[in-house]
Structure 1
């Protein structure tokens, strides 16, 4: 929560009340060092004259070097990806006004400059030098200056630098020419080298052109429909991307994700086992082969038949939004059109999570209070990001509503956090959409999880926020499912979906109308659940989320904040955000 707040507030200034010296000399008695390391030193974040507690230093945030000195995390400029007027001549300033405290003591400051046909961007972050970044090794991690080095990357000019001095990635240097004592000699060397490389370079280009022509000619013979492949809109996936997909590692977003690709080459994927089947598609566990035949990465492939092109396109378009990327939303790799013996198919290729969907996980496992807190908090954060009109870094983003939230459309990651999937019925809340456009979106979703106003087809189409309110209702039912399988409440019964004792396995809309509209029914909350303070707060929250009146429901962001408070029970504020309902005019009051 602290890091999201740090990167999301704009503009901001970090105010350090107290900062321990960056190193503690070896002659200081060890007991004194330990006492200082155990003290909570508050760091506060100032935004528009309001002070917010951000994080507390403790011994877990410090490391010791070989001399016994204690080191604190580095301070770096942290503005993620931004448009820039900086060219790659000599040096320039990042113009980033956000200074971040790195999460780990060994992280260093990194800057990335990119130029393509459309724009120039500059990215400033903290990063672990032992890990690759954008698929490249982080060099010069101990340097006091951020000296850019060019990296080979298709389709764009790409420079990256690293350094290990406070805010050193604010001033970026593009070439040794800037600091060299004899720049003219350097230019002469470059010119001579370029001339000497021209003959072999010309031969290499000729060989590549000949090979390409042969490949194209051969492909035309093998595939009669080759010409039509030029019109495909595929997602970007390059061979040099560092994809880390399975289990916990899926949290690390690939540099390939959520970009458009115009390559005609299909990925070397071998389908393995069928792991899921829904109304529109089947999901397979698959192997994505690497450069050598024996190496592969495990991915998930969602295959739509030809008849479900619309669902595939909707989900592909949702995933293609670069601003959708979030740790609690399924990581998307690419989309493909494939021709098989059974006809044309449409593929979505994503990260694979071995624990399966939330419904399957709750059926097989009883969860602890800590598990419930992690699952519920991550679910709320994912939905809040989906609904938000900006990213955590402040960039504008198109709000999206899921419209089919249920436990089988939520995956469980290896660290027991949730990520949302299955966006085939999702809707982008484009402000240009008319009331007629929204009305034509239809009554969609799964009947068991439909909000009262959806069952009754009486949504307020004048207010796009009403679509978010239906997602919040569905989220409340999923939170109830989690709570019903938590051993902190005492006796835990076998898994049962919401309204499981009142309707059949796949209830129709009319059956749900009887329970939800006529009887005003909701899943039962036994009184003994309320004996646990944390469970009591969760029950209060989900009760407010499934309120019959859409305007009375909480926002997903408010639910995320409540779960964040549950991490610190001693600081519970008596539902500080319980009044943050979605107003009738659809606007959210951001003033405190």
Structure 2
């Protein structure tokens, strides 16, 4: 009996020591601040989140966390950093950052010659400059009422209460383990709960409606269910108002982590299957990223989005207890074991056949997003991806890819106004941003402008794929676009200097174009990343070109091909000189990647219906024309 009491006293003493040490760590005098040169904030009501993913310890105990909010041409950016109040800061009144003692970042207007600018400073809380609080002012946000001062009595009571709760919990587990008393029974269909299954250990899940408003969602525990698309591609079912049971999903392995969510490999337990997928991918959003989950959910849940080159959507679920902080939001998607395209290219080189097949599938997926009809001719709303990159494309096989990650996608609905599109902000990944996005000069009155932005990003992805193709000769290690010219995570300013000022593009060596198919492939890529958005190809046109390359692939690979017949066909079509000029241009490293006349002819043929031009050849002649080139 005495031994038992001694053990309990020892446990309590150890816990008190741990809590004291933890309290000491929380009062470190060095601040940890968000630190990004420019990021695109996410705002709601009178609070903005910086959307900066980098943090750093301040080098001095006197340094504070600051945030500078700017608005220019309807584009908002936030700069975050550590700063010593005694040092000058360009464009900022030094008096605004003196005597800062607040633990929250309250924005204060700062006069500026162009646009609008606001500044805030804070300290005492790690990353306190991530959450920006606005009062009513030039930015148009509604006034946020200041939080009432917490009574001193409450502050005094919090530490002992926490100590008591932790001590009680520790004693309970100590008694339970010592005497072999089991804890609460596990859920019947889950035999165990390893640490990675924390999400399942919360209260039972419910499937929610993607279109449910944030206000309704956060203020009530409605029993509304979201219908799941439990069917194959193209066979959408009527799901409005249909009640479903949350899927018995068991998370297994964390396979990726992005800006907004984590991606898990998961398995449907008890041999339950959805669309024949026993293994699924689960994208888990924290509570604070509800808006991103809701946007991606609304995109995925549209039955008209279903396509073989779009990742298959299975379900959307809300999981967690009654407290908002414990909630998690799930997207259940088809799982593909080869991973994303960036990972695949890092580990694998491509043959010419694999390159053209995978590139065609990427273009088909984007063309379907941009199209205003489904493959069956049913009208649909076009969608701009706005964050297309190799890590947002999954590899289904060595011949097929699918687009994913629609957290920043935008419906190009004709009913929306210019102001609606202007509020969408400067989004995406800086490395893959088109020149007009970097310059904040997107033509918001033309919905095609958003599609042209995606085409530019796709061109960089196609270049990354081409750089790992064996047809170019020596295949080097994988590098993302502009990999040798910028850092791993370039900021908008760095890309603006490279792409706008220097008109830089990824290099296409002359050895790449010695392969006849690669020559046409590279010509297509250069037309897709043209500085002028209106000069870029459409995704549909890229599909047509790559399909023609696939159809003629057998002839290129045939060593017995009658070259005299090919040359005669070229002369008959009058394109020999144009082809020679294209080959000379492709070998010139310092050229501006001018589009060859052959590509222009193909482009004109594929887009003549939009430009009102009289076509000179029908589809059969166009296919023959491509065949004669090669």
Could you state the TM-score of these two structures normalised by the residue count of structure 2?
0.53
Are the structure 2 counterparts of residues 355 and 554 from structure 1 closer, same or farther at C-alpha, using a change threshold of 3 Å? same
Name the CA distance, whole Å, in 2 between partners of 1:232 and 1:577: 51
Deviation at 1:263, TM superposition (A): 2.4
Written as runs of structure 1 = structure 2, the 5 A alignment for 1:97-246 is 228-236=220-228
CA contact (8 A) 1:452 1:548 kept: yes
Name the CA distance, whole Å, in 1 between partners of 2:529 and 2:205: 55
Matched, 1:329 2:310: yes
1:334 partner SS:
strand
Residues 405-438 of structure 1: CA deviation (Å, up to 9, x unaligned): 0000000002531100000000000001101111
Aligned to 1:404: 387
Are the structure 2 counterparts of residues 347 and 550 from structure 1 closer, same or farther at C-alpha, using a change threshold of 3 Å? same
Name the CA distance, whole Å, in 2 between partners of 1:261 and 1:333: 17
Matched, 1:279 2:304: no
CA contact (8 A) 1:360 1:408 kept: yes
1:285 partner SS:
strand
Aligned to 1:313: 294
1:419 partner SS:
strand
Matched, 1:437 2:435: no
Name the CA distance, whole Å, in 1 between partners of 2:359 and 2:366: 11
CA contact (8 A) 1:330 1:420 kept: yes
Deviation at 1:233, TM superposition (A): 4.7
Matched, 1:510 2:502: no
Residue of 352, 361, 373 corresponding to 1:378? 361
1:413 partner SS:
strand
Aligned to 2:583: none
Name the CA distance, whole Å, in 2 between partners of 1:588 and 1:344: 51
Name the CA distance, whole Å, in 2 between partners of 1:224 and 1:420: 28
CA contact (8 A) 1:314 1:423 kept: yes
CA contact (8 A) 2:541 2:607 kept: no
Deviation at 1:391, TM superposition (A): 1.0
Matched, 1:476 2:459: yes
Name the CA distance, whole Å, in 2 between partners of 1:520 and 1:286: 44
Matched, 1:548 2:528: no
Written as runs of structure 1 = structure 2, the 5 A alignment for 1:503-582 is 503-569=486-552, 574-575=598-599, 576-579=601-604
Deviation at 1:396, TM superposition (A): 0.4
Name the CA distance, whole Å, in 2 between partners of 1:590 and 1:344: 56
Aligned to 1:289: 269
CA contact (8 A) 2:358 2:398 kept: no
Residues 79-126 of structure 1: CA deviation (Å, up to 9, x unaligned): xxxxxxxxxxxxxxxxxxxxxxxxxxxxxxxxxxxxxxxxxxxxxxxx
Structure 2 gaps of 5+ residues are 1-202, 208-218, 556-565, 574-597, 616-630
Aligned-residue RMSD, C-alpha: 2.9
Residues 2-56 of structure 1: CA deviation (Å, up to 9, x unaligned): xxxxxxxxxxxxxxxxxxxxxxxxxxxxxxxxxxxxxxxxxxxxxxxxxxxxxxx
CA contact (8 A) 2:338 2:396 kept: yes
Deviation at 1:223, TM superposition (A): 7.6
Residue of 269, 281, 284 corresponding to 1:303? 284
Matched, 1:268 2:260: no
Structure with greater helix percent? 2
Larger radius of gyration: 2
Deviation at 1:363, TM superposition (A): 0.2
CA contact (8 A) 2:206 2:246 kept: no
Name the CA distance, whole Å, in 1 between partners of 2:330 and 2:346: 29
Are the structure 2 counterparts of residues 590 and 443 from structure 1 closer, same or farther at C-alpha, using a change threshold of 3 Å? farther
1:422 partner SS:
coil
CA contact (8 A) 1:391 1:397 kept: yes
Residue of 414, 417, 421 corresponding to 2:404? 421
2:327 partner SS:
strand
2:420 partner SS:
helix
Are the structure 2 counterparts of residues 224 and 380 from structure 1 closer, same or farther at C-alpha, using a change threshold of 3 Å? closer
Residues 130-189 of structure 1: CA deviation (Å, up to 9, x unaligned): xxxxxxxxxxxxxxxxxxxxxxxxxxxxxxxxxxxxxxxxxxxxxxxxxxxxxxxxxxxx
Name the CA distance, whole Å, in 1 between partners of 2:515 and 2:550: 15
Name the CA distance, whole Å, in 2 between partners of 1:485 and 1:397: 36
Name the CA distance, whole Å, in 2 between partners of 1:489 and 1:566: 16
Question: Which consecutive aligned stretches of 4+ in structure 1 deviate over 6 angstroms post-superposition?
Answer: 222-227, 580-583
Could you state the TM-score of these two structures normalised by the residue count of structure 1?
0.56
Are the structure 2 counterparts of residues 482 and 532 from structure 1 closer, same or farther at C-alpha, using a change threshold of 3 Å? same
Are the structure 2 counterparts of residues 498 and 464 from structure 1 closer, same or farther at C-alpha, using a change threshold of 3 Å? same
Name the CA distance, whole Å, in 2 between partners of 1:588 and 1:263: 48
Name the CA distance, whole Å, in 2 between partners of 1:315 and 1:304: 11
Structure with greater strand percent? 1
Structure 1 gaps of 5+ residues are 1-221, 242-251
Name the CA distance, whole Å, in 2 between partners of 1:278 and 1:454: 22
Aligned to 2:475: 492
CA contact (8 A) 1:258 1:320 kept: no
